[in-house]
Chains A and B, each alone.
Chain A
Amino acid sequence: EPEVTQTPSHQVTQMGQEVILRCVPISNHLYFYWYRQILGQKVEFLVSFYNNEISEKSEIFDDQFSVERPDGSNFTLKIRSTKLEDSAMYFCASSFDPYTQYFGPGTRLTVL
């Protein structure tokens, strides 16, 4: 069964460094999403992406964040200058339509 994959599974970085989290969505999917979950807190929506542009973003998704689908298969989340509070589990999701989503296993980001 096709699944969403994410790499790396765990990323450790120093505060102020740039990180890129990678996702490979299911191949025929058209809608792509990033969510995050700070330890002990709710899963929070960050951004949705369709037709090569952002369709919706949350207040969390400020100028430090960007998304890209560079080659038609990968979907990336870039954090330009990481802060301690960016430490969280980041989930990628994809779907063929906007009414359901398949989630990846997540990347745990630790900012020191």
Chain B
Amino acid sequence: KQEVTQIPAALSVPEGENLVLNCSFTDSAIYNLQWFRQDPGKGLTSLLLIQSSQREQTSGRLNASLDKSSGRSTLYIAASQPGDSATYLCAVRTGNTGKLIFGQGTTLQVKP
């Protein structure tokens, strides 16, 4: 059974710092991996999607990497800003029904 784990559960950094969020999954047979942002009480905003054949994806200050064989992904945020404060969720897609399996998230606080 696929399990997704995110470390750390919470992170607090000063503005401007570069940071890395970690995601691990137990079964390497995935179609793709997706990173989401969730603001308190709100929905899910997709940040990056990495196909199983890809090693990384970039969007602005965000870079996500995928090492499928070791069951790991990282989300790198460069030059963090207070507006980046949110919960970041990692999810893997297995099977052809589109089902996503989520990690518990990392709650990030960026202090001005």
**A interface residues, Cβ below 8 angstroms from B:** 31, 33, 35, 41-45, 48, 50, 55-56, 89, 91, 95, 97-106, 108
Contacts and interface: CB of A to CB of B under 8 A. Distances in A.
Contacts of B102: 42-44
Interface residues of B, number: 26
A104 B45 CA distance: 9
Given A43-B89, A43-B102, A98 B96 contact: yes
Interface of B: 31-32, 34, 36, 41-46, 49, 51, 89, 91, 93, 95-105
The 4 A-B pairs with the shortest beta carbon distances in the complex, nearest first, are A98-B98, A56-B97, A105-B43, A43-B102
Contact of B44 (A42, A43, A44, A45): A43
25 contacts: A33-B98, A33-B99, A33-B100, A35-B100, A42-B104, A43-B100, A48-B97, A56-B95, A56-B97, A56-B99, A95-B98, A97-B98, A98-B93, A98-B97, A98-B98, A99-B31, A99-B32, A99-B93, A99-B98, A100-B34, A100-B46, A100-B49, A103-B43, A103-B44, A105-B42
